[in-house]
Amino acid sequence: MVRLFCCLGKKVCVKCTDDTIGDLKKLIAAQTGTGWNKIVLKKWYMIFKDHVSLGDYEIHDGMNLELYYQ
C-alpha cells in the first residue's frame, strides 16, 4: 500500500502491485475524483515519470509520496 499526501492536506492510500507510475495515477484519480493527467507525484525534488515502473523508482509498500495537482 502506497500512502500519498496531497499538498492540500488530503491523504490517499492506494493498493498497487508492480505497476507503472501512470497506472498508480489512474488509481489515485479514481479515489480522488480528479483527472489522472493533472496529478503529479514527487519525492523531495524528483518528479516521477508516467512510463517508469514503481520497482524502478524503488517505491515499496507503506512508502509516502507527495501528491500535487497541476
Half-sphere exposure of 14 (CA within 13 A, CB side): 26
pLDDT at 52: 95
pTM, rounded to two decimals: 0.83
Contacts of 57 by beta carbon, 8 Å cutoff, 6+ apart: 21, 43, 48
pLDDT in tens, 23-54: 989 988 888 888 999 999 988 889 999 999 98
Q: Which three cell numbers stand for residue 68?
A: 500535487
Tell which wins on pLDDT, 62 or 53: 53
